[in-house]
Structure 1
Amino acid sequence: MSASHHTPRALTTLPRLAVAVATVALGAVACSSGGGSATSAPISKPGSKPSTQATATTATPAASTIVPNTALSGPGAFLGPVRLIPVGGIKMGYRQFGSGPELIMVMGDTGTMSDWTVNLLSQLGQHYHVTIFDNRGVGYTTDDTSVPDTIALMADDTAGLIKALGLRHPALLGWSMGGEIGLTVAALHPGAISALVSTGGDLGGSQAVNTPPAVAEELNSPKTTGPQMMDLLFPADATAARTAYIQQLGLIPPEKVSDETLLRQYQAGQAYGSFEGTWDKLPDSTIPMLITNGSLDKITPPGNASIIAARAKHAKLVMFPDAGHAMLVQDSGRFISLVTQFTKASGIE
């Protein structure tokens, strides 16, 4: 979800969102034959086939280790096991799958690898060698609590992971806070990636358009249920999309997030509200960018996408007219087609 700010914003309430959507996800896990049972506390919301392309990782780095019993059965089997690799003083958990040019995906606030849908990942794996991972403190990735968590720090982690895995200028796809991490990578580590797809994010600082107070209040309420949170992620008439999303969440066992991490990511979002570094440096980046947003997004107002596209040098803006914050899963077919066309046009093949 969206990271952010000093006035009422979506991220300031996402610990509530994490708990509420986890309730829905657990129900899906209980009914699913493809996933495992939840063995640790769930979190928010929202097996590797080697690449055949010269741009892909040459091999799994020797420094990485496989986490036992993390290979999945059923629909998620193609994801392979979770691996751990040292990056900047922490150990980062990741999975890799698919074949083609490199694509690294960055999840939103308190979200884990298990919060990407199997359908979205399997389709992307047909076009890319995909890396998904957990941000610091979330799921399988450790944390260093002696330093404040920030969007810029998680951008450093992402760039560090790219280097540690030997990825050669991958495209980066980020959703919500993950989109903001991606924008910060493009601004502060432009040499790390070859292209950026950001959806449902903003530029932080004074330029961001705040979440409407009524939405922030609903996100912040301990009485808000999982189904009510689905109403915030999807438009009212997107019944089939939200049902499919809930079912998809049950295909991968949920990972854990601690109360400390919830608080630290909340604080990271608060700090992003006064951080101008992404805004200041983004115009210097020559990376091609695809900026997308649902025009009915209640959590990250769609005006943020226009602000980002106007600020970046080489940005293409595409709005999804009937979609909400979860537009990349609500209309995954169109989204994936758009992403693949964009990366090809950017010379990433």
Structure 2
Amino acid sequence: MMITPFVRAVSSCLAVAALSNASPVFADDVSFGQNQLCGLQTARPDGNPALQVKTVQGRNGPIGYARFGRGTPLLLITGYRATLGEWNAYFLGELAKHHEVIVFDNRGVGRSMPIEGRYGPGYSIRDMAADAADVITGLKLSRVNVVGWSMGGMIAQRLALDVPGKVESLTLIATAPPGPDAVPLTPEVQRVLSSSGAEAFPKIMSALFPADAVADASKCFVGDMFAPRGYKGRPVPDAVADQQNRAMTHWFADAAAADALRRSPVRTLIVAGANDDVLADANARRLEQIIPRATLDVVADAGHALMFQYPIELARHIDAFVSK
């Protein structure tokens, strides 16, 4: 049994929701009902053997991406140490019913290999947002709806600040604002995110999910990850993980970015889990105060990995917002 890659994949995601279909209402507190972690009987895009992970040229080198579905473009930005394979496949499949979905690897991760000499320390959340902008340009997309999770939500905020003309809407999932008013990870959670080995697995699941979802998550998490044929997201190098940590540390001190967000013209949905032990929902409430065109939904009985806990409902909720 290959428990170590499993734990590494889960750590990647970490260190790094919806109402009724008939009447989507964006309020402050919502419930998605029962956890949907196991037993889903619906399409997943990686079931198509023709789906491939390709690369597009960015300023830092090739950027690995996958593109599928039909409709308005939806660019998804993942989190700390996560590859594009660590999105929930059923969440992506539901989004792809109404959108052209694009997922990609952040720099130094998976298929996004940097140009020699640009791999080491020194890049920031803003640099990773520039990589996301390169994906938009390289795929010849004029405007996209952007979804960012955890660290990816930080990248998405910076992208909306730097190229607002390319961002139609912004959905921020389980993330945090810039500046000193944010609530960063606690040292205890950071230790869990950095752990490895078989003993780390139950702790990681407990950090990602509320107590009543941990058992299902333990059974289904890896099998529900997006797995395009031939794609093997390699282990994230320690140097890249360290740099991502430094980038997030600087984000939590970036008062200028917080001030800029107060003037953001981009329509924004903020989704947080009421039981998020990684990035507390206080961060989402702060984001709502900062971003002028923001709507906040705090999801009852939801943890940090909302797209694994409620893949169908979260996707439908995002679709309702994007299509509004």
Contact kept, 8 Å, 1:103 with 1:128, in 2: the verdict is yes
Contact kept, 8 Å, 1:43 with 1:255, in 2: the verdict is no
Counterpart in the other structure of 1:249: 225
Question: Could you list the per-position Cα deviations for residues 80-114 of structure 1 after superposition, in whole angstroms to 9, with x for gaps in the alignment?
Answer: 11211211142111110000000000010111111
1:23 aligns with 2:9: no
Alignment of structure 1 residues 19-168 onto 2, 5 Å: 22-24=5-7, 44-46=12-14, 75-77=46-48, 80-143=51-114, 144-145=118-119, 148-168=122-142
| CA deviation after TM superposition for structure 1 residue 205, in Å | 2.3
| CA deviation after TM superposition for structure 1 residue 302, in Å | 0.5
1: CA distance between counterparts of 2:196 and 2:276? 22
1:339 aligns with 2:318: yes
1:318 aligns with 2:301: no
Q: 1:126 to 1:21 in 2, by over 3 A?
A: farther
Q: 1:79 to 1:210 in 2, by over 3 A?
A: farther
SS of the counterpart of 1:129? strand
| CA deviation after TM superposition for structure 1 residue 121, in Å | 1.2
Instruction: Give the TM-score normalised by structure 1.
Output: 0.75
SS of the counterpart of 2:276? coil
Counterpart in the other structure of 1:260: 239
SS of the counterpart of 1:92? strand
Q: 2:252 aligns with which of 253, 273, 277?
A: 273
Unmatched segments (≥5 aa) in structure 2: 15-43
SS of the counterpart of 1:168? coil
| CA deviation after TM superposition for structure 1 residue 150, in Å | 0.8
Counterpart in the other structure of 2:27: none
Unmatched segments (≥5 aa) in structure 1: 1-19, 27-41, 47-72
1: CA distance between counterparts of 2:63 and 2:282? 33
Counterpart in the other structure of 2:163: 189
Contact kept, 8 Å, 2:108 with 2:240, in 1: the verdict is yes
Q: 1:86 to 1:281 in 2, by over 3 A?
A: same
Alignment of structure 1 residues 286-325 onto 2, 5 Å: 286-325=265-304
Q: 1:78 to 1:321 in 2, by over 3 A?
A: farther
SS of the counterpart of 1:249? coil
2: CA distance between counterparts of 1:286 and 1:74? 33
Question: Could you list the per-position Cα deviations for residues 297-346 of structure 1 after superposition, in whole angstroms to 9, with x for gaps in the alignment?
Answer: 0000110001001100101100111000011221122211211110111x
| CA deviation after TM superposition for structure 1 residue 271, in Å | 2.1
**Aligned-partner residue type, residue 298 of structure 2:** M
Contact kept, 8 Å, 1:305 with 1:317, in 2: the verdict is yes
Question: Could you list the per-position Cα deviations for residues 239-292 of structure 1 after superposition, in whole angstroms to 9, with x for gaps in the alignment?
Answer: 334533232138455411222212221222222232234312112211110000
1: CA distance between counterparts of 2:258 and 2:55? 32
SS of the counterpart of 1:161? helix
2: CA distance between counterparts of 1:182 and 1:341? 19
| CA deviation after TM superposition for structure 1 residue 75, in Å | 4.5
Q: 1:250 to 1:168 in 2, by over 3 A?
A: closer
Counterpart in the other structure of 2:144: 170
2: CA distance between counterparts of 1:80 and 1:221? 33
Aligned length: 286
Q: 1:174 to 1:139 in 2, by over 3 A?
A: same
Q: 2:201 aligns with which of 226, 249, 257?
A: 226
2: CA distance between counterparts of 1:155 and 1:21? 30
User: Post-superposition, which runs of at least 4 consecutive aligned residues in structure 1 deviate over 6 A?
Assistant: none
1: CA distance between counterparts of 2:153 and 2:127? 14
Alignment of structure 1 residues 195-214 onto 2, 5 Å: 195-214=169-188
SS of the counterpart of 2:80? coil
| CA deviation after TM superposition for structure 1 residue 222, in Å | 5.5
Q: With CA pairs under 8 Å and 6+ residues apart, which has the higher RCO, 1 or 2?
A: 2
Counterpart in the other structure of 1:52: none
2: CA distance between counterparts of 1:198 and 1:206? 19
SS of the counterpart of 2:315? helix
Structure 1 vs Structure 2 CA RMSD: 2.5
| CA deviation after TM superposition for structure 1 residue 219, in Å | 3.3
2: CA distance between counterparts of 1:79 and 1:217? 40
2: CA distance between counterparts of 1:342 and 1:74? 22
